[in-house]
Structure 1
Amino acid sequence: MLPAGLDPELLRSFVLIAEGESVTRTAERVGRTQSAVSMQMRRLEEVLGEPLLRRGARGLEPTYKGVWLLERARTLLALNEEIIATFRAAPLTGQVRLGTPDDYALQWLPGILARFGKTHPGMEVDVLCMSSEELVQRLSHGHLDMALLTEGHGRSGDEVWRGPLRWVGPQGGLLHKRDPLPLATAHPGCTWRRAALEALGRNGRRVRVTYNSTTQSGCFAVAMAGLAITISTPTRLPPGLVWLDEEDGLPPMGDMGILLATGEMPLSPGGEALAEAIRQGFAEPR
């Protein structure tokens, strides 16, 4: 928890004094006598082998090394308290209903849910995979506690990710050279589809939506069969698919955001814990 020899009680008293409290006031706050607090400071200096406090015009002040220690002691104490609070807290139990499009589920959720399951074994997470349009309706009717949504569906939420949409095609294929361009995408309400068609329109490319699928796996299957190109956020592509870009004659589509939206009712403590786990999971480097 803390480096060997660094008693958190010593650090707590040191931080109070270094932040301007007198020894008398510090003793009152930590529930010790003045002489006991003075002995704590001597003990801390013995452990570290450096003077940490000096007598100044306003009482005891941190030395140069004391200032260095003060910054890190605050962090150590906060971490110490967080660890203790986490393990002493009553375990969370219950159920959380999470909605997500299948592409986000496959790309991000396995790691997030695995870590959440280890830290909150008493929580049950029900995952429903649907399009963002359908998930918005489920949220509005109280059938979900939270959902990951592609931006642009009239629902506010916390933006957990923003990045580029990219073109995907079969390896070694020449579909991107066809005119009109064959495209596999979702139904007309999909924001990815709209972004792709607008980008192609600005570039003067003719396009024909030859396949519609409500799931990314369906679009990938069509692309793997060599029948159309499709679109995706950056992810690990299945074997047989490659990224396509401007060098292949395809225009950039711009960035797209992923939102974490919650239902009409306040989240339970378990729901709040899952929401935070999702935010942290999306913030990790990929």
Structure 2
Amino acid sequence: MPMLPAGLDPELLRSFVLIAGGDSVTAAARKVGRTQSAVSMQMRRLEELVGGALLERDARGLAPTEKGRWLLERARTLLALNEEILSHFRAAPLTGEVVLGSPDDYALDWLPGILAGFARTHPGIEVEVLCMSSDELARRLVESRVDLAIITEGQSRPGEEIWRGPLRWVGPAGAALHRRDPLPLALARAGCTWRSAAVAALGQAGRRVRVAYNSTTQSGCFAVALAGLALTVSTPTRLPPGLQWLGEAEGMPALPDMGIQLALAERLLGARPPPHVAALAEAIRAGFAA
């Protein structure tokens, strides 16, 4: 029986997570500061260490194999823990205040774990969280009224992509709203990337649409769906009791993947962010990766 290595190099895992998560080898190499050939060699080395193929090529590029998907989930957790340990023992404790903006859907799904871990590793940094729509946060970034913001892609003020995944239909459990014509929807106001994607997908499928309810928050859209009045959309999340995912089986058209971005205030562009702001940004990246 071949002997397993004593441990896996985090640098191998970091490159693997980027590629398995959707990056090309070229994009992953740019992010980790290596050449494309060096990253390709890293992947071959990692496959040798675990004794099997981790990536395979499909129509969209490289995708994880079954063994690769198993490793991807655990590699993200390991890298996040590794970063938390290193952060804890790095230089002198950081202090300062950071104003972080996020839509309520991301705040509920992602931020609790991220902020709890950040408070443990950086107890001297105070974080103020503002929940509002991505387009409003984009304006506040330009005005430097927030230091960091987590926003949906497609804003006038773009940022660094930290997550990409599917947008999905949501409706009341046991109801048949998806059969109505026109289809009632609960969405954010005009200009929202999710709204544009939902309306475009239905239009391409030949479905008539009536945006019956507008809400600047996901919780507001969920409330309308729970009342049985409209369908809405969401990235993967824990749905409140009474809601269900809808898809092809219900005759709903496929929706595109959506990116979540991390953006800096205008005044921080082109310069090294203050250490306390950079620390929170890194914690958010690690949290979304995990």
TM exceeds 0.5? yes
Mark the CA change 1:87 to 1:171 in structure 2 (over 3 Å): closer, same or farther.
same
- The structure 1 residue matched to 2:207, chosen from 205, 208, 213, is 205
When normalised by structure 1's length, the TM-score is 0.69
Mark the CA change 1:272 to 1:243 in structure 2 (over 3 Å): closer, same or farther.
same
Give the paired residue count: 206
What's the counterpart of residue 191 of structure 1? 193
What's the counterpart of residue 110 of structure 1? 112
Amino acid at match of 1:256: M
- The correspondence of residues 2-81 of structure 1 with structure 2, limited to 5 A, is none
- The structure 1 residue matched to 2:184, chosen from 165, 182, 189, is 182
Identity value in percent: 68
- The correspondence of residues 220-231 of structure 1 with structure 2, limited to 5 A, is 220-231=222-233
Over residues 20-74 of structure 1, what are the superposed CA-to-partner deviations in whole Å (9 max), with x where a residue is unaligned? xxxxxxxxxxxxxxxxxxxxxxxxxxxxxxxxxxxxxxxxxxxxxxxx9xxxxxx
C-alpha RMSD of the superposition: 1.9
Paired residue secondary structure (2:144): coil
1:278 aligns with 2:280: no
Paired residue secondary structure (1:116): helix
Mark the CA change 1:130 to 1:178 in structure 2 (over 3 Å): closer, same or farther.
same
Which consecutive unaligned segments of at least 5 residues does structure 1 have? Answer: 1-67, 69-79
Q: CA deviation at 1:84?
A: 7.9
More displaced 10-residue stretch of structure 1: 88-97 or 182-191? 88-97
Mark the CA change 1:178 to 1:84 in structure 2 (over 3 Å): closer, same or farther.
closer
Amino acid at match of 1:273: A
Q: CA deviation at 1:154?
A: 2.1
Over residues 118-150 of structure 1, what are the superposed CA-to-partner deviations in whole Å (9 max), with x where a residue is unaligned? 000111000001111100111111101010111
Paired residue secondary structure (1:144): coil
Which consecutive unaligned segments of at least 5 residues does structure 2 have? Answer: 1-48, 50-81
In structure 2, how many angstroms separate the alpha carbons of the residues matched to 1:99 and 1:199? 29
Q: CA deviation at 1:86?
A: 4.7
1:236 aligns with 2:243: no
Give the conservation status (yes or no) of the 8 Å contact 2:88–2:122: no
- The correspondence of residues 248-259 of structure 1 with structure 2, limited to 5 A, is 248-259=250-261
In structure 1, how many angstroms separate the alpha carbons of the residues matched to 2:86 and 2:277? 22
Give the conservation status (yes or no) of the 8 Å contact 2:186–2:232: yes
Paired residue secondary structure (2:266): coil
Amino acid at match of 1:102: D
In structure 1, how many angstroms separate the alpha carbons of the residues matched to 2:85 and 2:235? 36
In structure 1, how many angstroms separate the alpha carbons of the residues matched to 2:263 and 2:206? 36
- Aligned structure 1 segments of 4 or more residues deviating by more than 3 angstroms: 82-86
When normalised by structure 2's length, the TM-score is 0.68
In structure 2, how many angstroms separate the alpha carbons of the residues matched to 1:178 and 1:83? 53
Over residues 90-119 of structure 1, what are the superposed CA-to-partner deviations in whole Å (9 max), with x where a residue is unaligned? 111110010011100001000000000000
Amino acid at match of 1:279: R
